[in-house]
A and B are shown apart, each in its own frame.
Chain A
Amino acid sequence: MSSETVATVDLRAEFAASGVAEVLDELDRALIGLAPVKKRVREMAALLLVERARKSMGLTQAAPTLHMSFTGNPGTGKTTVALKMANLLHKLGYVRKGHLVTVTRDDLVGQYVGHTAPKTKEVLKRAMGGVLFIDEAYYLYRPENERDYGQEAIEILLQVMENQREDLVVILAGYADRMDTFFSSNPGFRSRIAHHIDFPDFSDDELFQIAGFMLEEQNYKLSAAGADALRDYVTQRRAQPHFANARSIRNAIDRARLRQANRLFEAAAGPLDAAALSTLDSEDFRASRVFSGGLASDKKRADP
């Protein structure tokens, strides 16, 4: 037994000293809903803390597998949680720098023979010491084209995920069903990923809360009628195609701000006070195409 091993460990003290508590609190505060995700992250934090304590006692040697997969619909907070996760792993000492490198297929796969390996390796080198977040990872594998260069990127990724586990953590993200197909056709990935986290869709109520959060951040308020309009908007938008949870809400708010600015500009005759400049009204939302059944192109597709 080496001289560095300790006899006892105080998990509470370790927990307090590591700064993990702040990250978890921040996760709770900054993210609305997502209860199962938060629970999983807490469990993982506990596991990693215990693992670290075991290591300090010399009970374990190998670096644990930390690669993860985040599945869920667009706009459910996968990237945001990945950012927090990178921070968490850094606080616990499992990655050295704790930065997040977000990539998609385009950043990994080359366009001609011999282009893929250097490209993938460059991304991997940039991500070392931190977390590599591969968004829509299933696009890497294209079974319909057997000469697709994606396979080459997958092989390099797998090799690094296995051999340099202490240097970087890989998070694969995407829609649940397509990730399942991806994993079943690439068993190498499934066996190298220890943690699967599923991101549920937000409820209407949660989306409304998120909207409130976003507005508060930008110093905007909703009038009573505006709040009703936004609630209606959330319900109707969900039923229409390309609904992307929180991202759709962000876009809706951006467009409402645009309409509000236009309304003030057209209608205002005299001086405006701060309240007028920061209040979104019902008509700013009601003018949205969502209330007339969505985009013209989508409507045409639905009933030709």
Chain B
Amino acid sequence: MMSNHGARITQGQFSYLPDLTDVQIKAQIAYALDQGWAVSVEYTDDPHPRNTYWELYGNPMFDLKDPAGILTEINACRKTFPNHYIRVMAFDATKGWESPRMSYIVNRPKDEPGFVVERIERDGRSQGYTIRSYATMKPEGKRYP
């Protein structure tokens, strides 16, 4: 029995909702910019939840006032990596925070195969568990055809 039919990965904000439209993405970016956070676009083809550091697309974007510039960059990234995961991240540089405040996926591969649970036999017959994406069985760049 499958428990997650679409096998959609659920990382970051809004990941249980249907994919955001461009208008919704823009509204979220506008919120982040109003808070004074620096927004960047990142992509990866390794969806493991512990893969925190995705590749940065283009240069970091500071001092932007309007979401249109970031949407341009998202669309450029979608064009370059149509079948990768792409997320938008908003970084808060205020002292005490100095960390991402928002992160949400704006592009996914057409086909997400999901994860396999692997069991490892350890000393004294104890079991270790880990998960692994079916996609990452293939080398980087060939994971989402």
Binding site for B on A (CB under 8 A): 96-97, 99, 118, 122, 124-126, 128-130, 164, 167-168
Contact = CB atoms under 8 A, between A and B. Distances in A.
A266 to B, nearest CB: 46
A130 B65 contact: yes
A97 B66 contact: yes
Contacts of A126: 63-65, 69
A164 B125 CA distance: 64
B88 to A, nearest CB: 14
B47 to A, nearest CB: 28
A125 B66 CA distance: 8
A129 B58 contact: no
Nearest to B72: A125
Interface string B32-70: 000000000000000000000000001101011111111
B59 A128 contact: no
B59 A122 contact: yes
B59 A118 contact: yes
Interface of A is mostly: loop
Contact of B61 (A97, A122, A168): A122
B68 A129 contact: yes
Q: Which of B61, B66, B73: most chain A Cβ within 10 A?
A: B66
B58 to A, nearest CB: 7
A100 B68 CA distance: 16
B66 A129 contact: yes
Interface of B: 58-59, 61, 63-70, 72-73
Pick from A97, A99, A164 the residue with the most CB of B within 10 Å.
A97
A126 B60 CA distance: 12
A124 B61 CA distance: 11
Contacts of B65: 97, 99, 126, 128-130
Contacts of B69: 124-126, 128-129, 167
B131 to A, nearest CB: 38
Nearest to A167: B68
A2 B24 CA distance: 23
B64 to A, nearest CB: 6
A127 B69 CA distance: 8
Contacts of A99: 65
24 contacts: A96-B66, A97-B65, A97-B66, A99-B65, A118-B58, A118-B59, A122-B59, A122-B61, A125-B64, A125-B72, A125-B73, A126-B69, A128-B66, A128-B68, A128-B69, A128-B72, A129-B65, A129-B67, A130-B65, A164-B72, A167-B66, A167-B68, A167-B69, A168-B68
Most A Cβ at <10 Å: residue of B59, B61, B72: B72
Nearest to B69: A125
Contacts of B70: 125
A129 B73 CA distance: 15
Contacts of B68: 96, 128-129, 164, 167-168
Nearest to B76: A121
Contacts of A129: 65-69
Contacts of B64: 125-126, 128
A99 B65 CA distance: 8
